[in-house]
Each structure stands twice: as C-alpha cells, then as structure tokens.
Amino acid sequence: MIPARTAVAALSAAVALSAALVHPAHAVSDAELALRWAPIHYQDTDSSDYDADYLSTVDFDGDWDTANNWEAQDDSPSRLTGAAYYSVVETSTHWFVVYSFYHPRDWEDSPDPFELHTHENDMEGVLAVVRKDGSTHGRLEGVITVAHSDFYSYVPAGSTFTGGRESVDGTLRLQDQRPTTRQEAKGHGLYAWNGAEFPGGDGVVYHPGTSAEVPSGGNDRSVAYRLVDTFAPGGLWARRSDPATFAGWGTFRGDNGKDNAANTAWGWDDANDGSDLPRGLLATDPAYLASAYFANRGEFSLTYTRNAYR
C-alpha cells in the first residue's frame, strides 16, 4: 500500500507537470514569439538598382499615402530601414505567425519599366505554424510562403507534417534555430532558402532583432531588421479601410505601372488551391489553410482562442 503522503505528493507532481505543459512558466508575448521564429532572410538584389530591393515599412516616407511610395523610394534610400510586419493568432494547439515583407516597388529592369508586370508597392511573406508543446516558444512544424500568386509549403527536419492537398515543396533550413527564407530581386517572390549563393553574387542577408539598419549597399551580408506589429494602434490593420493606403480590401493603392496590384496579408491568394481556400485565408484563417496544405498533423485545433483578423 502506498503511504498517503507519497500518493498526495505524486498526484501534486502530476498536476504540476500537466499545468506546466499547458501553461508555460512564462506566458510569451506576441512580440517575443514573433522574434523567436522570425526568419533569417536572404534578399536578392539587382545591381542596376540595389535599393529598390531593400525591405522597409509601408510608411517609410513618413506618411501612409501608398500612391507616392514609388517616387519616394529612391529619394532617400537612408529611410529604407529593414522591417517586417508580424501578426499572431492562436488556437488551443498552435500559434500562427505571419511575417509580411514590404518593398515600395515591384519592378522590371527594362527600357520601359511599366511595360510588363511592374507596380507600386509589393508585399509577400510567410506563415509559421508553431505547436504549443509546453515550452515557452513552442515548436515550429511547417511554413507556407507567398510567391506572387502561388503558395509554397516547407517543413523542417523532424516535423511530422507531410503533404496534404498540396505537396510539400521542400525542407525548411534552419540557422541559429530559425527558419531561413529567400526573396527574389525585382518581383520579390518568397521561398524557403535553398542554401545557394545569391544569383549574380550580390544580395542582403537580413537578421531579426530589436533594431533596424539600412544596408550599406547591394551586397551586405549582415543587416538588422525589426518587427512591426500588424495590429498596432494606428498601424497597418487599423488602416485597412483608409483610402489613402488601400484601394480595396487588402489591396494597396498604387498608380505606377499596373494600378492597385499589390496585396497585404489579408489579400494574399493562391490562384489554384481550391475554391474553399479563398483570398486572405493565410492571415485570417491560417489553421484551416494549414490543415488543407499539411497532413499527419496530430492534435490540431481549428477553433481560435484569439484572432484579431475576425
């Protein structure tokens, strides 16, 4: 027979362990969580106009008028400090962190820059799916990236996630236990980093932190970028109906090249992943999107405990 005191002690230990798994000792903030999983980001640059590929914020020029960002981009490149927007929503099993990378222009290196696909403003990004495993920051299980009108899915080594309705497009490389992403020059399609050098040999490697830097040139391998809360008061989401910034729901206003051609996270869409996965879902309902893109997910709730997009 187990002594009563021993039984009580064992029960208390079990309850404490269960509580620790559900409620970590330190309740992580959105900013801390976003910083933990923010990518090391390889940004390709084009030698004909390096600073046109630098990261920045939508209001880098001091205002939220997105129809003047093309012109403002090269007025003073010193204002193009590295930044990425983030948002966090959660279910009982997962955090879903969206990172949005903004450029003032999507451009073509041609005699007539407005001839093909050029447009003012550009934003593409990545969704990180993080399991609540009892640790402070959870465990990264997969990402979905945005490249133009297509989404791509990747899993890190050790993840149980496999391809669902969409096949897994590759292995997500980690550096310093962070996901590593890459973006094209000019058009800025975003993918998992493939481990290769930049095409042409020049590019900027952005590292997440609490400060922000401007690259010293088009071939700077260590530049700090800061994280900006999409839901901050007066910020990107708060201005979602501001006609100076947006021409429509999730679509930036822009009048250089193709008019109104760039989208923010709640306007992103994969052109061919199914009618039940509509525009904007990567931000507004990432649990459902991830449940469609990945299989072998284990316990996976689709019910949000918190979602400011709704």
pLDDT digit string (tens) for 170-191?
999 999 999 999 999 999 999 9
Q: What is the pLDDT of residue 108?
A: 81
Beta bridge partners of residue 221, listed in sequence order? none
Residue 114: per-residue pLDDT: 52
Exposure letters 192-226 (e unless 16+ CB within 10 A, then b): bbeeeebeeebbbbbbbeeebbbbeebbbeebebb
Q: What are phi and psi of 196, to 5 degrees?
A: -95, 160
What pLDDT does residue 15 have? 33
pLDDT at 135: 98
The gap from C-alpha 208 to its chain's centroid, in whole angstroms, comes to 12
Alpha carbon distance 84, 178 (integer Å): 15
Instruction: Work out whether strand 40-44 and strand 294-295 pair parallel, antiparallel, or are unpaired.
Output: unpaired
As separate numbers, helices (DSSP H) first and strands (DSSP E) second, the chain gives: 5, 17
Residue range 19-66, pLDDT digits in tens: 444 444 469 999 999 999 999 999 999 998 999 999 999 999 999 999
Q: What is the pLDDT of residue 117?
A: 77
Closest listed residue to residue 214, CA positions, set 85, 84, 40, 78: 78
| pLDDT value of position 210 | 94
Q: Do 200 and 47 contact (CB within 8 A), yes or no?
A: yes
Query: What pLDDT score was predicted for residue 103?
Result: 98
pLDDT value, residue 12: 36
Q: Which residues in the chain land under pLDDT 50?
A: 1-25
Q: Where are the beta strands (DSSP E) in 176-299?
A: 178-183, 190-192, 203-208, 223-229, 246-248, 251-252, 294-295
